[in-house]
Amino acid sequence: MGAVQIQAQDIHVGNIVWLRENDEVPCDLVLIGTSDTQGLCYVETAALDGETDLKTRVIPSACMGMDFELLHKIKGVIECPNPDKDIRRFDANLRLFPPFIDNDLCPLTIKNTLLQSCYLRNTEWACGVAVYTGNETKLGMSRGIPEPKLTAMDAMIDKLTGAIFVFQIVVVMVLGIAGNVWKDTEARKQWYVLYPIEGPWYELLVIPLRFELLCSIMIPISIKVSLDLVKSLYAKFIDWDSEMIDQDTGIPSHATNTAISEDLGQVEYILTDKTGTLTENRMIFRRCCISGIFYGNESGDALKDVKLLNAVAGSSPDVVRFLTVMAICNTVIPIKSKTGAILYKAQSQDEDALVNAAARLHMVYVNKNANILEIRFNGSVIQYEVLETLEFTSDRKRMSVVVKDCQNGKIVLLSKGADEAILPYAYAGQQTRALVEAVEQYAQLGLRTLCLAWRELKEDEYQEWSLMFKEASSTLVDREWRIAEVCQRLEHDFEVLGVTAIEDRLQDGVPETIETLRKAGINFWMLTGDKQNTAIQIALSCNFISPEPKGQLLLIDGKTEGEVCRSLERVLLTMRITSSEPKDVAFVVDGWALEIALKHYRKAFTELAILSRTAICCRVTPSQKAQLVELLKSCDYRTLAIGDGGNDVRMIQQADIGVGISGREGLQAARAADYSIGKFRFLKRLILVHGRYSYNRTAFLSQYSFYKSLVICFIQIFFSFISGVSGTSLFNSVSLMAYNVFYTSVPVLVSVLDKDLSEGTVMQHPQILVYCQAGRLLNPSTFAGWFGRSLFHAIVVFVITIHAYAFEKSEMEELSMVALSGCIWLQAFVVALETNSFTILQHLAIWGNLVAFYVINWVFSAIPSSGMYTIMFRLCRQPSYWITMFLIVAAGMGPVLALKYFRYTYRPSKINALQQAERMGGPILSLGNIEPQPRLMEKEVSPLSITQPKNRNPVYEPLLSDSPNSTRRSFGSGAPFDFFQSQSRLSSSYSRNCKDN
């Protein structure tokens, strides 16, 4: 509070930090005092977890009531765990030294802390003791470097690079040996070269090393730079996309990870969360069942059910108790706005829905003042004192509060939770049948159910338990587990009051999105913490699975190993039989069976995972979600995990691609994810448009980068055969550098604007995503095509150049410039031929680059001291130079164009067919042409996707094992049919189809 400025870095652990309203918390603090008499203060944690609602923080009980002056002199010890990144846990103890009141251990939780980067709000001042500072704060620890993700494409490019490297070594060794032999047999006779008679032994290495230098350009370094550049542009396109802006909130999509856009186009499995991802997570209280009476069944809205309204008006005791639990069994904070309306700040959407519904039914939760709650029912105000809050955890699946009725002093336990967490603990005599039915019925409708329960506690029972609870909450080890155990002792013998049913509507466009993506050959798994029935209902309503005749659900259940095993075997058998039929078979597994299956029958379950296109996993924990992702990844599938809540974070981080929905459960998932989108339906665009384009573009760009390096390298190699295998470079170093860095990288960079098909066509025919998924555009065989093309072009350039510039024209600088310009001309036409859509930028880059090449070389030719002095001027004046250039272009591009045209017209891939349909003609042509196609494709796609893992191997593996062979083969024969990408086997069946038309 002095005038001295203190930097946050100078705060040490143990210092007392004072904060004023709207201050940012500089380090992790344990709260010891606030301006509030109840010891409360409010913080905004948006920067930490993205949740925008204010959270209350409270000073530990030991510090309660201490005044301003005393806080300056406070002394004590805080025992706290080592720094970690869990922003929801802080298991510590505080002991104050005399003269301060008791020297009892006082437990500290996250509720007693102010974490770095939060803001103090609505509180005049607060003070706290620094416990973690600098990089040891919760924020600092969670900042950690995320594991870099490698796309399938990058892995493929790395493999190809490896293959090229091997090829390079072979070339260097062969030429090195040839060079040494030539030197010993021929060059020694050539007096003008003046080789020393005897050289040191390492002379032998000189020629191989020269060739290594010459061939080092074979692996393009520019590819990394180009790829990084285009990848960041792909990410920008996602950020910019106005069709992926959430209209409700105005939040655009965002690519946090800029390096993995291509993977989006290769997704094979999507693992999705249900709540908040498929559904809106906008909870609306729809129905309820109170002591066996169903409300809201007719109208579909309990709040309008006259029966219920009458019961409320009549203060029927069951209904009143039910409403009381709805209103106060929660962690909601009511805030009075200036207009007098009450706003509820709830961390869970369910609680929010319940409290609001209770308010609509005249049980209004008015105020919370420290531990005193006020509710107003039918005009009368009732006060409760909250004694304990037994918080919700995903393991316990319920939460309870212990409150004391201020009027009569009765202590009651109020609970709400999942049916299986409440109903088994009902008191011995209660008839729960109606409730079970209600739960069933509601789940059938896809509603979320909660059971509400209540129990009166005796004073001494509570006191006894309270001690245990206190002790449990101050343990440092396994606190969560200990607390759960203690809670269990109180939460039994419930009187179950009823069941609430909350509707969570499907987001817009979810069924369409899922249908489209499944047509694209992507398999969907739903992983949810919800009940089986609810999950299945939601799955049905969003096209996840098909209803009976077409679809079939197979259930894996069982409580013991044996049962699970049998059930798994049975499902597997059915799967194997039906996998050949065009039937939608899905399996359903719950968390318990999944645990056993993953532990003991991993192999069988893996096989099941491969066979099945759809799965519903319900009642699964966050770590199980992550395990499932891991399982699919281990089968070499590209997985995409999408979720919105904190419980999806692990799965999102685990998956190849994590997508977070920046939804109502906070931004935790979105922050952990590689991509964050506002709505589930944007996934379609993200994958089909952005993912697919990225894949196509990178496939072209990377292979082209290799191609252009290989062209120049092959020319150097050929030249070495006519220069005495001595390792002379035909091109000077400036040209070589400019060739790789400038002349050839600029035109290809604009391929980021290339679109082979329009977005609309892709959306209509999602089946073509198969080309990306199966890696048809970048694999060893397409690469072999590019390799062949580079060899062919190198031969064309070299042969034409040395023959056209023979004898008196064979001057070195001129000849090298002719060869170089030949390459540049060819490059321009290769890029132009491979470009599917020309925007103005592409024209600029391709033809502008050609012009720039001449301008740059004219500049160099104008400098007297450069080796190229006057060369380009001389060449440009020669008619033979221009004839040579056109000859190179025609000879180099003619066969390529002819082959491309032939493939395109007579052996078209589905992409080609769609291109033709899209561009050639109006709707009539495209309708006539394409209509039969989906049918055909579906047949093809479904067996394809199932057999993919087997299919893949023959395509993928030859790369490493015989690439040197294959390259050598094509080197020798110059196989004319190799230089175009061999595209697909699918095409033949399509052409048959074409003829039928």
Partner 1 sequence: MTNTDRERHRERETAFYLFTQQRLPACKPVLTPAWVITIFLFTGFIFIPVGLVTLRASRSVVEIVERYDTECVPEPFRIDKVSYVQDDSIPKNCSLSLKVRKYMKAPIYIYYQLDNYYQNHRRYVKSRSDRQLLHGWKYHATSSCQPVEFNNNQPIVPCGLIAWSLFNDTFTFIRERAELKVNRKNIAWKSDRDHKFGKTVYPFNFQNGTLIGGGKLNPRIPLSDQEDLIVWMRTSALPSFRKLYGRIEEDLDADDVVVVHLMNNYNTYGFGGKKKLVLSTSSWLGGKNDFLGLACVFVGSSSVILAIVFMLLHLKSRR
Catalytic residues: 273
Q: Min. distance of Cβ 811 from partner 1 in angstroms?
A: 5
Residue 566 or 809 having the CB closest to partner 1: 809
Of 67, 147, 198, 808, the one binding partner 1 by CB under 8 A: 808
Q: What gap in Å lies between CA 510 and CA 543, rounded to an integer?
A: 8
Residue 36 or 813 having the CB closest to partner 1: 813
Q: Candidates 276-284, 432-440, 675-683, 721-729: pick the segment binding partner 1 (CB under 8 A).
A: 721-729
DSSP codes joined into one string, 840-853: HHHHHHHHHHHHHH
Q: Are 190 and 987 in contact (CB under 8 A)?
A: no
Instruction: Rule CB under 8 A: say whether 971 interacts with partner 1.
Output: no
Q: What gap in Å lies between CA 646 and CA 641, rounded to an integer?
A: 13
Per DSSP, the three-state class of 866 is: coil
Instruction: Rule CB under 8 A: say whether 728 interacts with partner 1.
Output: yes
211 marked among binding-site residues: no
Q: What gap in Å lies between CA 438 and CA 684, rounded to an integer?
A: 37
Of 22, 52, 190, 299, the one binding partner 1 by CB under 8 A: 190
Residue 242 or 247 having the CB closest to partner 1: 242
835 marked among binding-site residues: no
Residue 141 or 889 having the CB closest to partner 1: 889
Q: Min. distance of Cβ 239 from partner 1 in angstroms?
A: 9
Neighbours of 469 (CB within 10 A): 21
Nearest by Cα to 523 from 272, 302, 713: 272
Applying the rule CB under 8 A, the residues between 814 and 833 that interact with partner 1 are: 815-816
Residue 484 or 887 having the CB closest to partner 1: 887
Residue 211 or 377 having the CB closest to partner 1: 211
Instruction: Rule CB under 8 A: say whether 809 interacts with partner 1.
Output: yes
Of 693, 695, 700, 704, the one binding partner 1 by CB under 8 A: 693
Of 724, 848, 958, 964, the one binding partner 1 by CB under 8 A: 724
Of 311, 800, 830, 875, the one binding partner 1 by CB under 8 A: 800
Of 578, 836, 982, 993, the one binding partner 1 by CB under 8 A: 836
Per DSSP, the three-state class of 129 is: strand
- Alpha carbon dihedral 897, 902, 904, 906, in 10-degree steps, equals 170
Q: Min. distance of Cβ 558 from partner 1 in angstroms?
A: 51
Q: Are 297 and 442 in contact (CB under 8 A)?
A: no
Q: Min. distance of Cβ 692 from partner 1 in angstroms?
A: 12
953 marked among binding-site residues: no
Applying the rule CB under 8 A, the residues between 657 and 686 that interact with partner 1 are: none
Q: Min. distance of Cβ 812 from partner 1 in angstroms?
A: 4
307 marked among binding-site residues: no
SS3 labels along 606-666: HHHHHHCCEEEEECCCHHHHHHHHHHHHHCCCCEEEEECCHHHHHHHHHCCEEEEECECCE
Of 470, 755, 907, 952, the one binding partner 1 by CB under 8 A: 755
228 marked among binding-site residues: no
Q: What gap in Å lies between CA 112 and CA 854, rounded to an integer?
A: 71
Q: Candidates 103-111, 160-168, 194-202, 478-486: pick the segment binding partner 1 (CB under 8 A).
A: 194-202
DSSP H/E element including 223:
helix 222-240
Q: What gap in Å lies between CA 852 and CA 874, rounded to an integer?
A: 18
Q: Min. distance of Cβ 883 from partner 1 in angstroms?
A: 6
DSSP H/E element including 571:
helix 561-578
Q: Are 409 and 384 in contact (CB under 8 A)?
A: no
Residue 285 or 693 having the CB closest to partner 1: 693
Per DSSP, the three-state class of 590 is: strand
Q: What gap in Å lies between CA 10 and CA 462, rounded to an integer?
A: 47
What backbone torsions phi and psi does residue 901 show, to the nearest 5 degrees?
-65, -45
Q: Candidates 59-67, 163-171, 181-189, 298-306: pick the segment binding partner 1 (CB under 8 A).
A: 181-189
Per DSSP, the three-state class of 287 is: strand
For residue 83, the 8-state DSSP code is P
Q: Candidates 39-47, 115-123, 310-318, 865-873: pick the segment binding partner 1 (CB under 8 A).
A: 865-873
416 marked among binding-site residues: yes
504 marked among binding-site residues: no
Of 74, 177, 187, 946, the one binding partner 1 by CB under 8 A: 187
Q: Are 616 and 526 in contact (CB under 8 A)?
A: yes
Applying the rule CB under 8 A, the residues between 249 and 288 that interact with partner 1 are: none
Residue 283 or 891 having the CB closest to partner 1: 891
Q: 905 burial class (0-12, 13-18, 19+ CB within 10 angstroms)? A: exposed
Residues β-bridged to residue 617: 527, 589
Instruction: Rule CB under 8 A: say whether 193 interacts with partner 1.
Output: yes
Q: Are 214 and 720 in contact (CB under 8 A)?
A: yes
Instruction: Rule CB under 8 A: say whether 804 interacts with partner 1.
Output: yes
From residue 916 to residue 935, the character string flagging contacts with partner 1 as x (rule: CB under 8 A) and all else as - is: x-xxx---------------
Instruction: Rule CB under 8 A: say whether 870 interacts with partner 1.
Output: yes
Bridging pattern class, strands 495-506 and 448-457: antiparallel
279 marked among binding-site residues: no
Q: What gap in Å lies between CA 740 and CA 742, rounded to an integer?
A: 6
Instruction: Rule CB under 8 A: say whether 812 interacts with partner 1.
Output: yes
Long-range contacts formed by 181-184: CB under 8 A, 24+ apart: 182/724, 182/725, 182/726, 183/207, 183/724, 183/725, 183/726
458 marked among binding-site residues: no
Residue 121 or 900 having the CB closest to partner 1: 900
Q: Min. distance of Cβ 218 from partner 1 in angstroms?
A: 19
Applying the rule CB under 8 A, the residues between 872 and 911 that interact with partner 1 are: 878-880, 883-884, 886-887, 890-891, 894, 897-898, 900-902, 904-906
947 marked among binding-site residues: no
692 marked among binding-site residues: no
Q: Min. distance of Cβ 984 from partner 1 in angstroms?
A: 17
Residue 707 or 719 having the CB closest to partner 1: 719
Q: Min. distance of Cβ 928 from partner 1 in angstroms?
A: 16
Residue 371 or 991 having the CB closest to partner 1: 991
- 30 φψ region: left (φ > 0), alpha (ψ -120 to 50), beta (else): beta
Applying the rule CB under 8 A, the residues between 567 and 596 that interact with partner 1 are: none
Q: What gap in Å lies between CA 978 and CA 968, rounded to an integer?
A: 13
What backbone torsions phi and psi does residue 336 show, to the nearest 5 degrees?
-85, 120
How many chain residues interact with partner 1 (CB under 8 A)? 77
Applying the rule CB under 8 A, the residues between 842 and 861 that interact with partner 1 are: 842
Q: Candidates 137-145, 363-371, 866-874, 957-965: pick the segment binding partner 1 (CB under 8 A).
A: 866-874
Q: What gap in Å lies between CA 886 and CA 818, rounded to an integer?
A: 12
Q: What gap in Å lies between CA 869 and CA 867, rounded to an integer?
A: 6
Give exposure, 724-740, as e/b (b: 16+ Cβ within 10 Å): ebebebbbbeebbebbb
Applying the rule CB under 8 A, the residues between 7 and 36 that interact with partner 1 are: none
Applying the rule CB under 8 A, the residues between 403 and 462 that interact with partner 1 are: none
From residue 224 to residue 253, the character string flagging contacts with partner 1 as x (rule: CB under 8 A) and all else as - is: ------------xx--xxxx----------
314 marked among binding-site residues: no
Q: What residue numbers does the annotated binding site cover?
A: 273-275, 351, 392, 416, 448, 528-530, 619, 625, 644, 647-648
Q: What residue numbers does the annotated binding site for ATP cover?
A: 273-275, 351, 392, 416, 448, 528-530, 619, 625, 647-648
Q: What residue numbers does the annotated binding site for Mg(2+) cover?
A: 273, 275, 644, 648
